[in-house]
Structure 1
């Protein structure tokens, strides 16, 4: 019979085995890529068999990376809940299973809940909201590295100084001149409605052994994460967050506030033929030192597969796997966040981003996730129209730089 200790040890062993498999695959990848490079030097073009072998190992590395990022399910924590919280959870459970909303309406009336009514749905319990938001952070790569702020209103406004007060050195007894007052501007981050509509059967809702809160959180988190991920990268700001690739770009040498600085690879749709990794070093040092300590590279797996093949002048690979299970891979010593919504390497594509996203990009969550039960639209199934409000945009234009694959 397994004990809790046995289960925990088995989980640890599984992670260690998976990590060992990944490291062995990476060593095989390096050997195959070295063989490919040697073939190119000898024959001018790479051997087809070697290239196919390299691509198979590359795909295996991608599969192992994706598996390592899947969040563990069934994790529990001892969260002490107030009597009101427990009552709300029970009332919400009754509403979801049977459609009875009287008790839930009374509780939300007592709490002076806004924006939650029979037409707009009812707020989920705090534990369910926390589970969804935690899962979103595990799944969404941009949310995991960006700044996140919760608000109770529909918009978050952040003032910033366009120009600070005049300062300078002065002697102890010298006359003080009057300084200019700072000039302030304002960034606005409106929250937009994001929805998902999972469906349930009557037998599922009647099964008392099913944790309805956990089921609902599991159903909506993937849908929310996929929509968020796309918006945080390339959203146009119309009824959705504005992605960091959607802002006006400018050559980094002429950077100014309100625009995102860009470096170019020198070749349309590719790295330079000689010393291809140099542009990645330039991208790192395009970011000021204060932002580099917590910086990340952001790219999709196709771009990462190309960069994985690059070496420095001493023959060392620029890309390295995580040192421990669950740790992100690194590029030139900085962690890599894999975002599938980033574009592939192509002519003029902004395929690589680098910077301190926690300071550079802000995600705004309005408190509360709402659910509206609909047993009529898709009989015999019951639909659950689930909504949350999310906003996002760049809050510090100096913290993020982009690499464009253009001449």
Structure 2
């Protein structure tokens, strides 16, 4: 809410029906604010009736309201069937609670000369029965059977001010007024009443020092920030900063989007392979036939395991609920990047076998150690059998792709062709391009480009990312240990469906 104002006069009946002026138009309240007619044009009823703006103290409902020349006149019902409603009704009759206060947000306002604001448009959230009104004219006029003032019509403002002053002299309301002033001041500050940003908390000062100096901050500043030991959780940002986490961009090669991905329940999978063709020949009627030998082999793809754990302080988990979510997100990003890198260049022992390290994949020489040759790319593509070539795609990193986009054929036409349709990839020599950040850069003796039918690369998922939260084993240290495991395998099934471009040795 922007502010909680007391600007009202109302009447009640025995059954709790209540009518009143929730806001007075045209005259300033004690804070200098003036509400103008039309400010409540968009008000929607019914709205809650509260006691002293306590959301836990609902005493009824306002059923209707309309703007009149003097202000916003409302009608509602105190719930007298519950004890709290009867108590409030008795306090109104005893003149202990004599005003209405609106809870609202000012959506159109201008500053007034000398202080205060002109309020032209207001979003009304609730109207409360209160003891001390903000506006001198916001007083209860009558309760029909129990008169509250001498008149039920709009009261004389000057007379009401005099009565209010007399009442304040008789009753010591200093502490209550001071508390209301404090609440009003906080409600008018940015951030919904947060501490004055001109006077930062000790935690905010210490955090600012940590951002500037790192671990060189003083012992007092460390005490203001430290929620756990530095290697095991570090410093917790002040509450007003910890709700947002700035994340670095994590890029990884989209191998899964183009490869053949399968699930498995075994630690490895064996694929039978067939080598030679038969030795069939054309023969005459009585000519001897020749024998054929077919060799069979097998290709095994073993499932590998990727694992780690993170210790995080229990206090940090309690004070920053998003901390565990961020840990899980970081694990998923790291595991995704690590496995994508392994699919490209994994050594095949502890990691999956990357297609760039498979010794059976042939290559085409570029002929130069630093400059890409357009002719070499054409030679590479057409060195593959037509069936594989027509299903293939190029793979390279962004730096290499930038170089390829500048290449032209002998007629001055670019080899690279842009995509003119949403969702369709870019093309080189009529075949799509997949940008893979884990591919090597152009350098002497490097393999910066591969052309392949990537369905010949098999990925086996044994276990998805398994995250286990262990709050017990490290509890004596005030920590929770979060374990993460991923079991996945990968390997080239048919090397003939891949071909690499090799830069010359300098």
**Is 1:155 aligned to residue 257 of structure 2?**
no
Structure 1 CA distance for aligned equivalents of residues 344 and 498 of structure 2: 12
Structure 2 CA distance for aligned equivalents of residues 317 and 217 of structure 1: 44
CA contact (8 A) 1:269 1:348 kept: no
Structure 2 CA distance for aligned equivalents of residues 242 and 283 of structure 1: 23
The answer to which structure has the higher strand fraction is 2
Higher relative contact order (CA 8 A, sep 6+): 1
- Equivalent positions of 1:325-336 (< 5 A) are 325-336=422-433
CA contact (8 A) 1:140 1:228 kept: no
Name which of structure 1's ranges 190-199 and 291-300 shifts more when overlaid on structure 2: 190-199
- Give unmatched runs, 5+ long, in structure 2: 1-250
Aligned to 1:236: 347
- Equivalent positions of 1:28-67 (< 5 A) are none
Aligned to 1:187: 299
**Is 1:295 aligned to residue 397 of structure 2?**
no
Aligned to 2:498: 400
1:245 to 347, 356, 361: 356
Name which of structure 1's ranges 339-348 and 380-389 shifts more when overlaid on structure 2: 380-389
Structure 2 CA distance for aligned equivalents of residues 395 and 246 of structure 1: 13
Q: After superposition, what is the alpha-carbon deviation per residue over 1:202-227, rounded to whole angstroms, capped at 9, x for unaligned?
A: 699789x98x9x97874443212210
Structure 2 CA distance for aligned equivalents of residues 325 and 197 of structure 1: 41
Structure 2 CA distance for aligned equivalents of residues 327 and 195 of structure 1: 36
Higher Rg of the two aligned structures: 2
CA contact (8 A) 2:253 2:341 kept: no
Aligned to 1:144: 257
Name which of structure 1's ranges 153-162 and 324-333 shifts more when overlaid on structure 2: 324-333
The CA deviation at 1:140 is 3.9
Q: After superposition, what is the alpha-carbon deviation per residue over 1:109-155, rounded to whole angstroms, capped at 9, x for unaligned?
A: xxxxxxxxxxxxxxxxxxxxxxxxxxxxx964222211222211101
Aligned length: 253
Structure 1 CA distance for aligned equivalents of residues 341 and 388 of structure 2: 24
2:375 to 274, 278, 300: 278
Q: Give the alignment's TM-score, normalised by structure 1.
A: 0.54
CA contact (8 A) 1:235 1:246 kept: yes
Q: After superposition, what is the alpha-carbon deviation per residue over 1:372-404, rounded to whole angstroms, capped at 9, x for unaligned?
A: 323355965534312121111111010000001
The CA deviation at 1:362 is 1.5
CA contact (8 A) 2:260 2:455 kept: yes
Structure 2 CA distance for aligned equivalents of residues 350 and 267 of structure 1: 12
Q: Give the alignment's TM-score, normalised by structure 2.
A: 0.44
Alpha-carbon spacing, 1:285–1:385, altered in 2? closer, same or farther (3 Å): same
- Give unmatched runs, 5+ long, in structure 1: 1-137, 249-258
Q: What secondary structure is seen at the aligned counterpart in 2 of 1:305?
A: helix
Q: After superposition, what is the alpha-carbon deviation per residue over 1:348-390, rounded to whole angstroms, capped at 9, x for unaligned?
A: 110100011112x221221454333233559655343121211
CA contact (8 A) 2:280 2:290 kept: no
Alpha-carbon spacing, 1:170–1:220, altered in 2? closer, same or farther (3 Å): farther
RMSD of equivalent CA atoms: 3.4
Structure 1 CA distance for aligned equivalents of residues 420 and 329 of structure 2: 30
Q: What secondary structure is seen at the aligned counterpart in 2 of 1:163?
A: coil
**Is 1:391 aligned to residue 489 of structure 2?**
yes
CA contact (8 A) 1:155 1:188 kept: yes
CA contact (8 A) 1:270 1:347 kept: no
**Is 1:305 aligned to residue 417 of structure 2?**
no
- Equivalent positions of 1:13-162 (< 5 A) are 140-162=253-275
CA contact (8 A) 2:252 2:437 kept: no
Aligned to 1:263: 364
CA contact (8 A) 1:365 1:391 kept: yes
Aligned to 1:358: 455
Alpha-carbon spacing, 1:145–1:388, altered in 2? closer, same or farther (3 Å): same
